[in-house]
Chain A
Amino acid sequence: MEQSVTWTCTGCALLCEDIQVIINNNKIEKVENACLKGKARLFGCKHPARSTINQVDADISEAISQAARILTDSEHPLLYGWSNSTSEAQHAGIELAQSLGAVIDSTSSFCQGITINEIFKNNLPACTLEDVREKADVIMYWGADPMSSHPRHLSKYSYFPRGELRQRGYEEDRKAICIDVRQSRTAKICKDKFYMIPPQGDAEFIRGLMDGLSGRVPKLDYDIKRILELAATLKKAEFGVIFVGLGLIYSIKSQMQLLLELINKLNEFSNFYLIPMTGHFNMRGFNHNLFEKTGFVHRVKFTDEGAISGTEYSVIEQLKNGADAAVIVGSDPLTSLPASVSRRLKNIPVILIDPCTNLTSKVADITIPCSVSGIEVSGTAIRLDGQTQEISSLIESNGLSDEVIIRRIMEELD
């Protein structure tokens, strides 16, 4: 029997809530309004995960018990992944880390975690995506290419829609500005408001822009007239927003105070807000959930004296030196981490919890298949602007969710 269901997409951190999915006999047949990324998430992977121990098919209960044994025996376990899990599963992971005295970190560690850290630490001005749609007249995409990473970003929220205060839409009421090292798909849409800067040139450009905003002549190797024009546009904004991408973050990662300085400078003249372009659907959820529990957004070790945090507890540094066992949830470090780091996963016991077979499956000691969050499992997630969104399940499954698997491992720990 065919039914049309409204669904919140988990393809990326936009969490679009206006998706129509046509389901027939518990099988997904068609989807309307979702972009290609959402469609790919919805229709799943070609190689679903299997339950294995030492690369041989095994009973899932046995795999869970073996995972618990590995963790009981380890002294420095690392729990990593989490950005494709519901907040409920993330809470379970944090509890597991606490009971083990483990290190817990997420993919945000080498992504937007440090931005979210600045947002929390310095109370950076934030707004919602709905605010952007209804009010934003100046929108900056800095080191971000949403047309490739969050395809409906511009059409659903940030540029093309008519808004309450922007009734004449993008043609007359909004300006889209892009700063990047190449003419990305987003830059193409921004046309003459695209500013190409050299790689690692963001710090210099920020300083040049701040000079322009302060009425000083910027001193950098760039078309000064264009920087002054940009500064003038930003000063006149009624509601400005900077969407911060990895192109910017990777460039200023050891000088993050520049972000605060820029936002503060902009807010001397107009109203400017900042939104990090988190990728996975619940990356931001992990940062919020961990912060709530420990006061830190990522890279946490649970000790007898409480939670501590530092770069040495990042997934990268732990894999280089420290971790003697790893639980990986909804992630594929052999695809996303430098090989110079991920190769260490061959030397320690690895427990992989994922709906799909991925590269890391090939080196894992234990693989435990889990249901797909947001399709077979419901829960909550946090959107890239920090808003909590309910995510619902669409089809029934006999599988176990990652949350259930984590809790069963916890029960079986000695």
Chain B
Amino acid sequence: MTSAMEIYQLLPKTNCKKCSESTCMAFAVALLTRAKHYGECPPLMEEEKYRDYKTKLEQLLKPLEGVEENGLIIHEELCSGCGNCVVACPVDVANDPHGSGRGFGPTNEKVIFKVVDGKVKAANIMECRRFGKDKILCRACIDPCPTEAIEFV
């Protein structure tokens, strides 16, 4: 898994603010958490001297393609579809108390986790408690996973 520092090394480092972040380091963090895409840096996309950086950055960020906006990543090859995360997630329990809350498959579309074809899929990421103004370092989906298939970058 890459780091903000590694990403920063491949940016112009001019703090031009054209991406609407105050510094290139802030943009690097936004790229890591998938809040922004590298295409939002005009100098990187347009200037010949950064072409090498752009190619390397594309390669570096490829593994993060599965990463959700709040940094959630599901390693599908490790997932057994056990549903522990579905039932343990406090958002799933709150939004689907008689479904996921009681161990059944989700009974509405307001949940974050749902198992499809034997693998867990994430949706409604904005509801996750790691996101937003009052965010906390919730581990409710990480700790119950028997295979460490869920990670937050």
Contacts from A to B (Cβ < 8 Å): 18-20, 30-40, 133, 147-148, 151-152, 154-157, 160-163, 169-170, 185-186, 188-189
Contact with A along B88-129 (1 / 0, CB 8 A): 100001000100011111100000001111110000000000
Extra pairs beyond A34-B115, A152-B82 (16, CB < 8 Å): A30-B116, A32-B105, A33-B83, A36-B118, A133-B102, A133-B103, A147-B80, A147-B146, A148-B80, A148-B146, A151-B80, A155-B87, A156-B83, A161-B102, A170-B88, A189-B144
Identify whether the interface residues of B are mostly helix, strand, loop, or mixed. Answer: loop
Complex alpha-carbon distance, A151 and B80, angstroms: 7
B84 at the interface (CB under 8 A from A): yes
Shortest Cβ distance from residue B52 to the other chain A in the assembled complex, whole angstroms: 42
Complex alpha-carbon distance, A154 and B86, angstroms: 11
B43 at the interface (CB under 8 A from A): no
Check A32/B103 contact, CB under 8 A, given A152-B82, A152-B83. Answer: no
Shortest Cβ distance from residue B80 to the other chain A in the assembled complex, whole angstroms: 5
Shortest Cβ distance from residue B140 to the other chain A in the assembled complex, whole angstroms: 9
Listed A/B pairs (21) with beta-carbon separation below 8 Å = A19-B105, A31-B117, A33-B114, A33-B115, A36-B79, A36-B119, A37-B118, A39-B117, A133-B103, A147-B146, A151-B80, A152-B82, A155-B84, A155-B87, A160-B87, A160-B88, A160-B144, A162-B102, A170-B88, A189-B84, A189-B146
Q: Is the CB of B81 within 8 A of A18?
A: no
Shortest Cβ distance from A32 into B: residue: B116
Complex alpha-carbon distance, A19 and B118, angstroms: 11
Complex alpha-carbon distance, A121 and B127, angstroms: 52
Complex alpha-carbon distance, A413 and B82, angstroms: 46
Contacts of B144 in A (CB 8 A): 154-155, 160, 170, 189
Complex alpha-carbon distance, A317 and B104, angstroms: 43
Check A20/B146 contact, CB under 8 A, given A35-B118, A155-B84, A170-B88. Answer: no
Check A154/B84 contact, CB under 8 A, given A133-B102, A161-B103, A189-B144. Answer: yes
Complex alpha-carbon distance, A37 and B86, angstroms: 17
A-B contact number at CB 8 A:
94
- Residue among A154, A156, A161, A185 making CB contact with B147, cutoff 8 Å: A185
Contacts of A186 in B (CB 8 A): 146
Contacts of B105 in A (CB 8 A): 18-20, 32-33
Contacts of A157 in B (CB 8 A): 103
- Residue among B79, B82, B106, B118 making CB contact with A154, cutoff 8 Å: B82
- The 10 A-B pairs at the shortest CB distance, nearest first, are namely A33-B105, A161-B103, A39-B118, A185-B146, A155-B83, A35-B81, A36-B118, A151-B82, A147-B146, A160-B87
Shortest Cβ distance from residue B106 to the other chain A in the assembled complex, whole angstroms: 8
Shortest Cβ distance from residue B70 to the other chain A in the assembled complex, whole angstroms: 22
Contacts of B106 in A (CB 8 A): 33
Contacts of A40 in B (CB 8 A): 118
- Residue among A20, A31, A148, A156 making CB contact with B118, cutoff 8 Å: A31
Shortest Cβ distance from B84 into A: residue: A155
CB neighbors of A among B36-95 (8 A):
79-84, 86-88, 93
Contacts of A33 in B (CB 8 A): 83, 104-106, 114-115
Contacts of B115 in A (CB 8 A): 32-35
Shortest Cβ distance from residue A368 to the other chain B in the assembled complex, whole angstroms: 30
Contacts of B93 in A (CB 8 A): 162, 169
Contacts of B116 in A (CB 8 A): 30-32
Q: Is the CB of A18 within 8 A of B104?
A: yes
Shortest Cβ distance from A152 into B: residue: B83
Shortest Cβ distance from residue B85 to the other chain A in the assembled complex, whole angstroms: 8
Complex alpha-carbon distance, A40 and B80, angstroms: 11
Check A162/B83 contact, CB under 8 A, given A31-B117, A31-B118, A170-B88. Answer: no
- Residue among B87, B118, B119 making CB contact with A38, cutoff 8 Å: B118
Complex alpha-carbon distance, A30 and B121, angstroms: 13
Complex alpha-carbon distance, A40 and B144, angstroms: 23
Q: Is the CB of B82 within 8 A of A35?
A: yes
Shortest Cβ distance from A155 into B: residue: B83
Complex alpha-carbon distance, A38 and B117, angstroms: 9
Contacts of B87 in A (CB 8 A): 155-156, 160-161
Complex alpha-carbon distance, A147 and B114, angstroms: 18
Contacts of B104 in A (CB 8 A): 18, 33, 156
Complex alpha-carbon distance, A154 and B81, angstroms: 12
Shortest Cβ distance from A11 into B: residue: B118
Complex alpha-carbon distance, A170 and B118, angstroms: 24
Contacts of A163 in B (CB 8 A): 102
Q: Is the CB of A34 within 8 A of B82?
A: no
- Residue among B81, B101, B114 making CB contact with A36, cutoff 8 Å: B81
Complex alpha-carbon distance, A156 and B101, angstroms: 10
Shortest Cβ distance from A150 into B: residue: B82
Shortest Cβ distance from residue B110 to the other chain A in the assembled complex, whole angstroms: 15
Contacts of A161 in B (CB 8 A): 87, 101-103
Shortest Cβ distance from residue A321 to the other chain B in the assembled complex, whole angstroms: 41
Shortest Cβ distance from B121 into A: residue: A32
Q: Is the CB of A155 within 8 A of B114?
A: no
Contacts of B86 in A (CB 8 A): 155
Contacts of B97 in A (CB 8 A): 162
Q: Is the CB of A188 within 8 A of B146?
A: yes
